[in-house]
Structure 1
Amino acid sequence: MPVAPPRPRRKQRRSPGLFPILLVLVAGLAVIKWIDPFASRRFPAPATPDWITADLLPVNPYSRPGEPLETVNGVVVHYVGNPGTTAAQNHSYFEGLAQTGETYASSHFLIGLDGEILLNVPLDEIAYCSNDRNEDTISIECCHPDGTGAFTPETYDALVRLVRWLMEYYQLEPSQILRHYDVTGKACPLYFVDHPDAWERFLADVSPAEE
């Protein structure tokens, strides 16, 4: 009786390892994140130019929480509201909040009566200055000599220089330069609220020159 030939053994398929699959998944997620138009724009803090004095507040819950500022969509201009006070005095007030805890307040920059510029909070951290825009804006507080809130020529020129620098670094348009008034309706900076034409002139002064 003839004997049937033995059947050839099937080769067992080896299942692919887990590592290549994970590698493909990670690469796919990275591509999605890269092309996501809604992803946050992360900006490293720019180097501080020599015309700005860095005098950073201590990390504390009341004036420098240390929380990251991941997106910059604008610059908000303020006035200190205390006529005749200096940038150093207002900086000391922010610094003292770490001990007194009386309120939450700070700004990234203070501009003094003589045009000096102090950096209080690093530009990759939030400051407590612009209410619900703290998380996506840079804040600038300006000193003023009297109750009208008008800035000295030195303060004004320093503000123009600072805002131009920030606009260039963060690729901002003039429409992204705001008064505190534009965020909350508060009369701040007072002179620019009472004199909208002066605010328009300021926006023209910081706008890039047409070629």
Structure 2
Amino acid sequence: MPTQTPVRRRLSPLPGLIPGLILLVAVLAVIKWIDPFAPKELHVPDTPDWVEEELLPINPYSRPGTPLEQVNGIVIHYVGNPGTTAEQNHSYFKNLAQTGETYASSHFLIGLDGEIIQNVPLDEIAYCSNQRNDDTISIECCHPDESGSFNQATYDSLVRLTRWLMEQYGLDRDQVIRHYDVTGKICPRSFVEHPETWETFLDDISK
């Protein structure tokens, strides 16, 4: 009668590992929850009703869709095209998706009548402030002539929008800067060539 070799059953290690894995996941979750250095989700405020939302299409040239993970400042710009409207500058940003001639956009555009257009969501970067794109909100302002000075309607909307952003992100006046302060570019022209008007603006947003 042939001798039968006993069958050795291999015990699966999974039953013993599952409780350990569950415990490990739970510990890691607790560590992330209490870790003060863990990345925090960016607060994205609702767009106020006095801002017109006209978001650009996702494209490589004006709205790449790259997440904006922190907001450490607000950068003020001027469009550099005297007499153009907010809608015209918005159309320029939008058309870059087809022309691909450069990389340019801003989170907001303020027009000659004080209208405000939002081009890019506040949780995405805009192509406006060079090396500060990654941690700032950008505001472009229209101006009637070559001096770059803003008329009263544009200026008042700039003050209003900047104050609102400061409140939403807990920023102070030292975190509101000119494009000039990032790269040395003469932008916005009137605030660079006439520093006293910049100081007046900082006083106005601090009231």
Q: TM-score range by the shorter chain?
A: 0.7 to 0.9
Q: Secondary structure at the match of 1:114?
A: coil
Q: Is the 8 A contact 1:84 1:146 kept in 2?
A: yes
Residue 168 of structure 1 pairs with residue 151 of structure 2: no
Aligned to 2:182: 183
Residue 154 of structure 1 pairs with residue 130 of structure 2: no
Alpha-carbon shift at residue 29 of structure 1 (Å): 3.1
TM-score in terms of structure 2 length: 0.88
CA distance in 2: counterparts of 1:41 and 1:177, whole angstroms = 22
| Unaligned 5+ runs, structure 2 | 1-14
CA distance in 2: counterparts of 1:120 and 1:170, whole angstroms = 19
Q: Secondary structure at the match of 1:103?
A: coil
Alpha-carbon shift at residue 137 of structure 1 (Å): 0.6
Aligned to 2:89: 90
Aligned to 1:29: 28
Q: Which amino acid aligns with 1:160?
A: V
CA distance in 2: counterparts of 1:201 and 1:23, whole angstroms = 59
Q: Is the 8 A contact 1:187 1:193 kept in 2?
A: yes
CA deviation vs aligned residue, 1:89-147 (integer Å, no higher than 9, x gap): 00010011000000000000000011000000111111100001111110000000011
TM-score in terms of structure 1 length: 0.86
Aligned to 2:3: none
Q: Secondary structure at the match of 1:22?
A: helix
Aligned to 2:12: none
Aligned to 1:46: 45
Q: Which amino acid aligns with 2:200?
A: R
CA deviation vs aligned residue, 1:153-187 (integer Å, no higher than 9, x gap): 01000000001110111111111111001111111
CA distance in 2: counterparts of 1:169 and 1:43, whole angstroms = 11
- Which structure has the highest helix share of the two? 2
Q: 1:31 to 1:111 in 2, by over 3 A?
A: same
Aligned to 1:55: 54
Aligned to 1:107: 106
CA deviation vs aligned residue, 1:53-107 (integer Å, no higher than 9, x gap): 0011111110001111111111100000001000000001001100000000000
Q: 1:187 to 1:120 in 2, by over 3 A?
A: same
CA distance in 2: counterparts of 1:31 and 1:174, whole angstroms = 37
| Unaligned 5+ runs, structure 1 | 1-15
Q: 1:27 to 1:53 in 2, by over 3 A?
A: same
**Aligned-residue identity in percent:** 73
Superposed CA RMSD in Å reads 1.7
Alpha-carbon shift at residue 201 of structure 1 (Å): 1.2
